[in-house]
């Protein structure tokens, strides 16, 4: 939505000045200004910017250090007594148009320039979203349209490290939340990766895969971690029993954005992996029961891990929608993250007292939505189920994709050994923004 409804605060600063021909060509022109805002025509659309925004956004050397790219002022410093000192102008900078403004504050002046591209980028919320961030397209999937995903979203190990290959992996994880990398070298064939230690982390194939996205997030499981069946396991993942659909580390304040699981050995009976698109399932809940879906955004679920000398605790709703664009139709209903992990769920702290009718009513709606979400997630038609071969790494969005594993048995003499690690979502999104 272009900002067309602007007000000129003539009471304080006098009437706004109007312009009829302050332009170069037909692309950028000044329509009026005062000491609160300036109105422009950009490609035949009218846009109003506040002066505070423009002055604060100046990136010339007087405002931003050209080397370390950090601001030399705070917003509070430039907002005091800010005025436009003289008539703004549209100027030519090579083949590009720019808006030039001389600002004044008590005892100082500052000149700024804003290219037409910059002004267009911030002319409406959709443009900001598209230009500052990245393609946020979410492609929801279920069993019907996911049957070919392992082939479509499949890349060889060598291909992964090419610019073209990695760009496709980035795009696929962004759109679908999951990707597969195959033909990974067997760690047993490398003398440096016979056994995991702090000194050889960087030699393992999974570390090389993960570091293409960013730094590896270290947790109390370590930088890299083995997933093997063992006695007296501190995590259900380290057993051979059925592991229900879940997400990892939701008891952290900042759960990891991506999870990498390298299947080094996977020859036991059973042990098939299941994946489900939490975003697609949440959308189905919204379609089938909007009232219950709304409760899923409000009631906080407790997640905790209390074991082995650790006690982690955090509360979060099952569904989180984008909030930074809450006033924009563009972002209405965009799901940012799903939080579902029954094995690590703590005690509820909301809706637990029957003498609080408002809480009880909302909690009943939440239970209705939670039950529907879980029912849909556990339906085979909404799952991708496969026995992941040895030498394959699954990369998936831990804030979107639910993962699970069927029980397995080594009675056939087979072995099961996975190695995992995490990368923060911030690193992933940084790569999306900067990848060429």
| pLDDT mean across residues, the chain | 88
Q: What pLDDT is recorded for position 374?
A: 98
Long-range CB pairs of 112-120, under 8 A, 24+ apart, other chains included = 112/54, 112/55, 112/58, 112/60, 112/63, 113/58, 113/60, 114/54, 114/57, 114/58, 116/27, 116/28, 116/42, 118/57, 119/28, 119/40, 119/42, 119/47, 119/49, 120/42, 120/43
Q: What pLDDT is recorded for position 22?
A: 44
Top pLDDT among 81 and 132 is at 81
**What is the per-residue pLDDT across 158-208, written as a single tens digit (0 to 9) for each?**
999 999 999 999 999 999 999 999 999 999 999 999 999 999 999 999 999
Backbone phi and psi for residue 24, each to the nearest 5 degrees, phi listed first: -125, 120
Q: What pLDDT is recorded for position 286?
A: 97
Whether 227 shows a pLDDT value over 60: the answer reads yes
Are residues 26 and 42 in contact, defined by beta-carbon separation less than 8 angstroms?
no
Query: pLDDT band at 10, cuts 50/70/90?
Result: very low
Q: What pLDDT is recorded for position 179?
A: 95
**β-strand pairing of 89-93 with 96-105:** antiparallel
Q: What pLDDT is recorded for position 246?
A: 97
Whether 40 shows a pLDDT value over 50: the answer reads yes
Residue ranges of domains in the chain: 10-123, 135-436
Q: What pLDDT is recorded for position 308?
A: 87
What gap in Å lies between CA 27 and CA 20, rounded to an integer? 14
Query: pLDDT band at 15, cuts 50/70/90?
Result: very low
In this structure, what token pair is assigned to residue 304?
Answer: 């905790």
CATH topology of domain 135-436: Double-stranded beta-helix (3.60.130)
Residues paired with residue 417 on neighbouring β-strands, in sequence order: 265
For the segment(s) 10-123, the CATH number from 3.50.50.60, 1.10.3720.10, 3.40.50.300, 3.30.2020.30 is 3.30.2020.30
Query: pLDDT band at 9, cuts 50/70/90?
Result: very low
pTM: 0.84
């Amino acid at each position: 939505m272009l900002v067309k409804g602007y007000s000129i605060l003539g009471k304080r600063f006098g009437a706004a000045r109007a312009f009829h021909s302050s332009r170069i060509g037909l692309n950028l022109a000044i329509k009026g200004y005062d000491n609160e805002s300036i109105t422009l025509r950009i490609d035949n659309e009218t846009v109003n910017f506040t002066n505070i925004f423009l002055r604060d956004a100046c990136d010339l050397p007087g405002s931003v250090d050209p080397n370390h790219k950090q601001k030399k002022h705070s917003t509070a410093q430039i907002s005091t007594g800010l005025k436009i000192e003289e008539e703004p102008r549209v100027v030519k900078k090579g083949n590009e148009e720019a808006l030039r403004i001389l600002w004044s504050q008590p005892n100082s002046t500052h000149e700024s320039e804003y290219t037409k591209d910059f002004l267009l980028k911030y002319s409406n919320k959709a443009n900001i979203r598209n230009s500052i961030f990245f393609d946020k397209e979410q492609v929801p999937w279920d069993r019907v349209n996911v049957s070919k995903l392992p082939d479509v979203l499949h890349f060889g190990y060598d291909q992964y490290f090419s610019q073209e290959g990695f760009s496709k992996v980035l795009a696929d994880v962004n759109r679908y939340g999951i990707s597969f990398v195959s033909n990974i070298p067997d760690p047993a064939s490398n003398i440096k990766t016979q056994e995991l230690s702090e000194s050889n982390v960087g030699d393992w194939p999974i570390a090389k895969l993960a570091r293409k996205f960013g730094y590896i997030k270290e947790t109390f499981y370590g930088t890299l971690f083995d997933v093997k069946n063992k006695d007296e396991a501190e995590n259900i993942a380290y057993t051979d029993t059925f592991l229900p659909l879940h997400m990892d580390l939701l008891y952290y304040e900042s759960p990891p954005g991506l999870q990498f699981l390298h299947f080094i050995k996977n020859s036991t009976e059973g042990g098939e992996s299941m994946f489900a698109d939490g975003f697609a399932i949440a959308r189905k809940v919204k379609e089938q029961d909007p009232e219950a879906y709304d409760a899923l955004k409000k009631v906080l679920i407790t997640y905790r891990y209390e074991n082995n000398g650790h006690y982690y605790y955090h509360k979060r709703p099952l569904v989180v929608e984008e909030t930074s664009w809450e006033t924009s139709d563009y972002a209405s209903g965009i799901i940012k993250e799903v939080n579902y992990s029954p094995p690590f769920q703590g005690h509820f702290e909301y809706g637990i007292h029957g003498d609080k009718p408002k809480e009880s009513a909302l909690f009943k709606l939440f239970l209705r939505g939670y039950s529907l979400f879980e029912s849909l997630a556990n339906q085979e038609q909404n799952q991708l189920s496969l026995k992941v071969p040895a030498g394959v790494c699954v990369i998936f969005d831990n804030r979107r994709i639910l993962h699970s594993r069927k029980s397995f048995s080594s009675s056939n003499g087979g072995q099961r050994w996975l190695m995992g690690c995490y990368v923060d979502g911030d690193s992933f999104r940084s790569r999306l923004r900067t990848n060429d």
